[in-house]
Structure 1
Amino acid sequence: MKTKATAVALTCVAALALSACSDDTAGQTGAGGTGAAGDPVDPTASLDGVELTFWTAQNTAHAADQVIEAFEEATGATVSTEAIPDLYEQNVPTRLASGDRPDLMFWQPSISTLPFVQPARNLLPLDDEPWVSDLGSTEQSLGVIDGTRYAAIVTSPAMLGVYYNKDVFAEAGVTEADFPRSYDELLDLGATIRDETDASAFYEVGGDQWPLQWQVQVQLTDQPDAWWDGLNRNEESWTDPAVVDAITKYDEELLGAGLAQDGYRTGTFTGQAEALWDGSSAMALNVTSFQSQLQAEHGTAEIDERIGWFPIANSEARGLYSPDQTNGVVAFATGDEERQNAARQFLAFWLGPDYADFIDDRKIPSVQPDVPSPEGMPQTAVDQVEALPDAHGVFQARAIVAPELHVALADMIYGEKSPQEVAEFVENQFDDIARAQGAEGF
């Protein structure tokens, strides 16, 4: 029996398949282009009377406000945003299937999620846009499917690493020289915290579920490129012993060893930030959304005084990057050449003359090496920027389907699945969705 998570993903695939069959305009201007792709773009050229639509998720409804306001003032265009209800990744394909489409949209620029909107049929290719060569090396690797760029990268991908409470570390006698250089050393550090302080070593988020995946993801960083390539061709499996061992280690050597807080089964994302801040937990393994949560509640000086960050992988002190839907913006092939060119101009403006103002307004890292990140970011954010160029990709960036590992891990922490059964759940979901997408080998 398929899980709800599998059903959601399959709904996305089915909706876009329906769109391709029922929408007579689909594909008329995709991949083959408007005839204007690659032509010079003047970011501030007049666009009086041109109206563009921009779809966002509910949590990114205001993320582009600064650039939209500046673009409208510079060009005379009008850009209207519409927040699509959650679940964003399910409801967008459903809207597209009905024949509705925006000019621009936030969308995760990963090989596992970008295909949900059938880019070759529905999106404008962006390979020759003036901003592409300005992106950093990691950002240039995102937004590309089958050798064609379909997404502009406007924000830095989330970084996965360990946030820690400096006071708890000091109480346990932990200095920077003691920072772990492998996952096993991270668990050893957790045991030290458990034994030397009243704090839990980690705060785990069983209630909100999605952060459960990160402890396992970190352990998969030694899997070679050939393994991921084989997985995407159905020649390798999520039931590989390395995956099962990673799940087992999380279950037995972290949760089973008392390294998480007592209420880890019902822990929440906001509770994790509160526990790290007040020192009832020493560490939180999470992505940059945790950084945003801290910055929403505390100033830079406060964060710098109390919270630190370090990267970690399975066998080295190296971070992981995780694309999300705030990182990428795609432009749709609507069949209206004026609007398509205006959408390209909007992206050129965003990643051109406005980019420094945009990142300064949001106090976020720059995706362009030649544009400095804003002053005043917490040191935790600065450390993540420095770790990005050498970071591993999480499986959302490496696998053609992003299975919902966290759903099965949530079952595991309640004793409803064994580590082997978690791996089998992930493998079955991965195969189902890859097959529905028509992936080669499935």
Structure 2
Amino acid sequence: MMRRRTTLLASCTALALALGATACGGGPVSAGGGGKSLSGQTITVAGVWSGSEQKNFQKVLDAFSEKSGAKTQFMSTGDNVSTVVGSKIEGGNAPDVVMVPQVGVLQQFAKEGWLKPLSKTTQQSVDSNYASVWKNYGSVDGTLYGLYFKAAHKSTVWYSPDALDQAGVKPPTSYDAMLKAGHTVSESGLAAFSVAGQDGWTLTDWFENIYLSQAGPEKYDALAAHKIKWTDPTVVDALTTLGKLFKDKQLIAGGQKEALNTDFPGSVEKVFGPKPEAGMVYEGDFVAGVAKDQFGKKIGEDANFFPFPPVGDGKAPVVSGGDAAVVLKDGKNQKAAQQFLEYLATPEASAVWAEAGGFLSPNKKLALSSYGDDVTRETAKSLVAAGDSVRFDMSDQAPAAFGGTKGAGEWKILQDFLRDPSDPKGTAAELESAAAKAYQG
């Protein structure tokens, strides 16, 4: 589940520096017709955000209120979005809009009959301004229910420029070159990678990037939908590739045992903290927020990234995640809710959060100048340029019992694989057993 990450990172997601100008492209776009047409009305928006994410989203809500005249209320759901929203619906107090952090939850809501299709205006904006992959992830049985407003780029490897300079290596452009560069970094006195094995979701992200590059998008889609089994040879191949990293004690800070005791913020600290232990850490664009907010690093100078490199003959992967806005049937103000989503579909709305920081948009019409620093601009450019080759985080598409539960399913099995990566075929069989039970359920 995407939110297990971004809720964890709520206080450390301010990726960009503040920016004064708002080049959105296409001029101002009215929300709900403009002219304070929603004066006297109130919409309730539910989402998992807290901390700085909630604060920055509030700026978007305030901008909509200023434009439309509507009042807005934000309700934080915590991690269990479906449970909280379900109870609100049963109690007759459903929110008007929910920001859904997982594809699987959006599909669940649609199949429960909880969602309204998005307005023609929003659909037209999605058709014009988004790669079709985002429409596909927001649709169920051909009907568009979800607008992806906020995205994450999860194919970024973050590094200390000082560490790579000291080792005399440049950012690598292939997976094998990355491991080779890692050995050179290790020989210079630091471990190559800090791995957050205590948080099983980071290990799923490692696997997904390798699998997408090595097996290709068609196999990725099939595995994500469990149309092929986890015992497929492509899975074994990806685990074998990942295992080469996991079993190399020269590459992982503190070895496998310490990696299993390192959480995500701790993994960033091992690279960008006061006592560096490693030169690189893999995770999404939100690494920059931790490096900047917690350790005072200047993004682009003290901390930088290179794209997750292609594996073998494959293409460089672009794995993403995101939050989709949906309108509930049982909300008390569906008209205003639909107009709010029409606003969220504009580059104007995205620019509000882009300027605040800690945000990427899949909206192609959002000018890169809206982001506050060059590194964020490069990350956003990479995400948009990937177009339909973007693939949503695979574990976020799976049933939570398999792809999103601590101490169970994929998280636990990949932690066991980090501990002992000697049997990729056996690990694949365990993954298939767990997946089969979860998808049947």
TM-score (norm 1): 0.77
Identity score, percent? 21
Q: Is there any run of 5+ residues in structure 1 with no aligned partner, and where?
A: 6-39, 437-442
Greater Cα shift, 204-213 or 367-376:
367-376
Answer yes or no: is the 8 Å Cα contact 1:57–1:83 preserved in 2. yes
Counterpart-to-counterpart distance in 2, 1:220 and 1:264: 21
Post-superposition Cα deviations, 1:119-178, rounded to whole Å, max 9, x if no partner, equal 5711111262243234332544431222221111212333322111111111111125xx
1:406 to 403, 411, 434: 411
1:303 partner SS: coil
2:150 partner SS: coil
Shift of 1:398: 9.3
Answer yes or no: is the 8 Å Cα contact 2:268–2:287 preserved in 1. yes
Q: Which residue matches 2:232?
A: 240
Is 2:64 the counterpart of 1:66? no
Structure 1's 150 and 397: CA in aligned 2 closer, same or farther, altered over 3 A? farther
Q: Which residue matches 1:78?
A: 71
Q: Number of residues paired by the alignment? A: 389
Structure 1's 120 and 51: CA in aligned 2 closer, same or farther, altered over 3 A? same
Counterpart-to-counterpart distance in 1, 2:130 and 2:34: 21
Q: Which residue matches 2:200?
A: 209
Is 2:316 the counterpart of 1:323? no
* Aligned-pair Cα RMSD in Å: 3.2
Post-superposition Cα deviations, 1:174-229, rounded to whole Å, max 9, x if no partner, equal 125xx132x2332222222222x111100001222321222222221232444345
2:301 partner SS: helix
User: Which of the pair has the greater relative contact order for Cα pairs under 8 Å at 6+ separation?
Assistant: 2
Counterpart-to-counterpart distance in 1, 2:269 and 2:199: 15
Structure 1's 382 and 70: CA in aligned 2 closer, same or farther, altered over 3 A? closer
Counterpart-to-counterpart distance in 2, 1:381 and 1:81: 27
Is 2:272 the counterpart of 1:280? no
Counterparts of 1:5-154 in structure 2, within 5 Å, are: 41-59=32-50, 60-88=53-81, 91-93=84-86, 95-96=88-89, 100-108=93-101, 110=103, 112-118=104-110, 121-126=113-118, 128-130=120-122, 131-137=125-131, 139-154=134-149
Counterpart-to-counterpart distance in 1, 2:128 and 2:246: 42
Counterpart-to-counterpart distance in 1, 2:80 and 2:331: 28
TM-score (norm 2): 0.77
Answer yes or no: is the 8 Å Cα contact 1:207–1:267 preserved in 2. yes
Greater Cα shift, 65-74 or 159-168:
65-74
Shift of 1:99: 5.7
Counterpart-to-counterpart distance in 1, 2:140 and 2:79: 25
Counterpart-to-counterpart distance in 2, 1:50 and 1:102: 14
Counterpart-to-counterpart distance in 1, 2:166 and 2:39: 62
Answer yes or no: is the 8 Å Cα contact 1:180–1:317 preserved in 2. no
Greater Cα shift, 214-223 or 82-91:
82-91
Counterparts of 1:202-351 in structure 2, within 5 Å, are: 202-221=193-212, 222-228=214-220, 230-231=222-223, 235-262=227-254, 263-278=258-273, 279-297=276-294, 302-311=298-307, 312-315=309-312, 316=314, 318-324=316-322, 327-334=323-330, 336=332, 339-351=333-345
Q: Is there any run of 5+ residues in structure 2 with no aligned partner, and where?
A: 2-30, 404-409
2:219 partner SS: helix
